[in-house]
Homo-oligomer: A and B are copies of this chain.
């Protein structure tokens, strides 16, 4: 489906205008405002063509035109000119990221804040997922009265902890020994490499505590596959400024959706393309956001995907801006994390 230059120009202008005003765009306004050099009548003819091709829609007979999802898609793929962030915005990101952070969760939170602030849409950040990563360290800590805490440190600096019951006759020294033996065997290994052979070796060294070790291995397994990816959501109130969310019903649906962490994780993990993904309206797999667009990207350490960020807004979205914000922040986030956990 290839469009001639004038059609492109007109489609571009319509989308541009609609994004800015949220009002159906008429031929007269368009011709005047965008200096198209042709009369409204000509524009009308072109618009009728574009509508027939599926790029535009008409809310009702005597209204202007509105871009269809299809139209937005064409815009994003062919018409939109990428915008760079303003110097002041870059500066803001730089300042936010350069102050010394001590925990991964802080970085995540700041990214989310920046994301929503710069894009003025809702932001979502999934914190590094522990899956498919290396074990760094485990540690048993006695918590008194027959209980212990198992600390599991995974490679990009993720810490998980689990409580466990202890057999009555165990001493703190025992815990320390077990920690050391298990550490010696497993630390640095990929979760998937935690094969039976290693486990057997541990059993062999810790015969006395066989059942305890089994429990520990289970808990390690459990924490490494933990779905408890923390999600940062922010700036939801931002999108309430958009006229498409003037309807409380819609807001309710959206909020209900956003509260379902697993669902959000799922949506964010299904990114087909490398780099920035744009899902427009019905391209979203989830019904509740069929009239939203989502711009998402993965961030990585050493080229390995460890989490995602996304921006959610109405289909009538400032695509160019949102895309560059997501792009810029993902790059920066990857960089900051790499610096934190260079290895």
Interface set of A (CB-CB < 8 Å, partner B): 102-103, 105-106, 136-137, 139, 141-145, 147, 149, 151, 153, 157, 159-164, 219, 222, 228, 234-237, 240-241, 245-248, 251-253, 255-256, 259, 340-343
Q: Would you call B237 and A255 a contact (CB within 8 A)?
A: yes
> In the complex, which of the residues A234, A240, A241 has the most CB atoms of chain B within 10 Å of its own CB atom?
A240
Interchain nearest-CB distance for A245 vs B (Å): 7
Q: In the assembled complex, which residues on chain B have CB atoms less than 8 Å from the CB atom of A252? A: 237, 240-241
Offer 19 A-B interface pairs, CB within 8 angstroms, sorted by A: A102-B163, A102-B164, A105-B228, A106-B228, A136-B141, A136-B143, A137-B141, A137-B142, A137-B149, A139-B139, A139-B151, A141-B153, A144-B343, A157-B161, A157-B163, A237-B255, A237-B256, A240-B248, A240-B251
Query: For the complex formed by this chain, how many copies does it contain in all?
Result: 2
Q: In the assembled complex, which residues on chain B have CB atoms less than 8 Å from the CB atom of A144? A: 342-343
Q: In the assembled complex, which residues on chain B have CB atoms less than 8 Å from the CB atom of A161? A: 103, 153, 157, 159
Q: Would you call A153 and B151 a contact (CB within 8 A)?
A: yes
Q: Would you call A159 and B153 a contact (CB within 8 A)?
A: no
Residue of B nearest to A236 (CB): B255
